């Protein structure tokens, strides 16, 4: 998305194999966008794809590329220790003006930022999948995030053609704070035997107008990611039954029907 709006992007991952697979996925996605956006102008579509791909570089060494970046957006595994290790390293080599942001959906931005010396230049940019399609970005401001940093993140979001919403650094931000209790109640409805997964999905799509039913959405997001979100929210909101761990996603209950796909 950033590359298609004229930004120079360096995609960083653990191996060239992963990076090549990611670039292939991006190219396939761009072809779909071009086919729709330039239906009557195939040459313009081809040019759009070429220009976008030229804006994307790759690297397996974040230290070697961070020295020339204005913004780092992290989207690694939802593990606080792993994020700390990454940002501690980047903080040593990134220019003073570089803003750090995390795409986390479950971990407090403040806790992640504490691994760095630039808490005032640290915020959250929570995108929603599929990113090329979904217009919303939650822009998260911690008590330490400077107003200048927050405004820069909002401006960047708008430059991508997205709609930013301002969020405080609370578990779940806005969307997941409302969405998780809905998903968990759908699971409880199924576990009680009150309805099948299929009927619950149909009911919410046809009755509430949702594009996906709750079980389709859990499958799309992934049960591992969903569990990270639920665990993080329950730690913060202990005592609130809305955020209690589900048997469906619990590794402690192997006999539970935790595989939805």
The answer to whether residues 85 and 36 touch, using CB atoms and an 8 Å cutoff, is no
Catalytic residue among 4, 78, 102, 138: 138
Q: Does the annotation count 67 as an active-site position? A: no
CA distance 107 to 173: 10
Catalytic residue among 102, 152, 176, 226: 176
Q: Does the annotation count 176 as an active-site position? A: yes
SS (H, E, C) the chain: CCHHHCCCEEEECCCHHHHHHHHHHHHHHHHHHHHHHCCCCHHHHHHHHHHHHHCEEEECCHHHHHCCCCEEEECCCCCHHHHHHHHHHHHHHCCCCCEEEECCCCCCHHHHHCCCCCHHHEEEEEECCCCCCCCEEEEEECCCCCHHHHHHHHHHHHHCCCEEEEEECCCCCCHHHHHHHHHHHHHHHHHCCCCCHHHHHHHHHHHHCCCCCHHHHHHHHCHHHHHHHHHHHHHHCCCCHHHCCCHHHCCCCCCCCCCCC
Q: Which residues pair with 139 in a beta bridge?
A: 125, 166
Residue 227 annotated as part of some ligand binding site:
no
Residue 105 annotated as part of some ligand binding site:
yes
Catalytic residue among 4, 74, 102, 126: 126
Q: Does the annotation count 126 as an active-site position? A: yes
Q: Does the annotation count 147 as an active-site position? A: no
Residue 255 annotated as part of some ligand binding site:
no
Catalytic residue among 102, 105, 152, 226: 105
What amino acid positions are annotated as catalytic residues?
105, 126, 138, 176
Residue ranges at the known binding site: 29, 36, 105
Residue ranges at the known binding site for CoA: 29, 36, 105
């Amino acid at each position: 998305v950033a590359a298609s709006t004229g930004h120079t992007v360096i995609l960083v991952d653990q191996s060239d194999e992963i990076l090549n697979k990611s670039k292939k996925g991006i190219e396939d996605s761009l072809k779909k966008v071009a086919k729709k956006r330039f239906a009557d102008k195939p040459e313009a579509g081809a040019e759009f794809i070429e220009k976008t791909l030229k804006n994307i570089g790759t690297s397996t060494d974040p230290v070697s590329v961070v020295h020339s970046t204005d913004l780092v957006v992290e989207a690694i595994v939802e593990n606080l220790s792993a994020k700390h290790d990454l940002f501690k390293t980047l903080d040593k080599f990134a220019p003073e003006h570089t803003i750090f942001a995390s795409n986390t959906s479950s971990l407090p931005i403040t806790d992640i930022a504490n691994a760095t010396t630039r808490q005032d230049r640290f915020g959250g940019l929570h995108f929603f999948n599929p990113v090329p399609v979904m217009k919303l970005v939650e822009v998260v401001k911690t008590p330490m995030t400077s107003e200048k940093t927050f405004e820069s993140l909002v401006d960047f979001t708008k430059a991508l053609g997205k709609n930013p919403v301002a969020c405080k650094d609370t578990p779940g931000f806005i969307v997941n704070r409302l969405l998780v209790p809905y998903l968990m109640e759908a699971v409880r409805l199924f576990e009680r035997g009150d309805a099948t997964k299929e009927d619950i999905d149909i009911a919410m799509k046809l009755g509430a107008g949702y594009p996906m039913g709750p079980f389709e959405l859990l499958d799309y997001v992934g049960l591992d990611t969903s569990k990270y979100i639920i665990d993080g929210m329950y730690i913060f909101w202990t005592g609130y039954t809305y955020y209690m761990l589900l048997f469906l996603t619990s590794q402690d209950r192997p006999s539970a029907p935790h595989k939805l796909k």
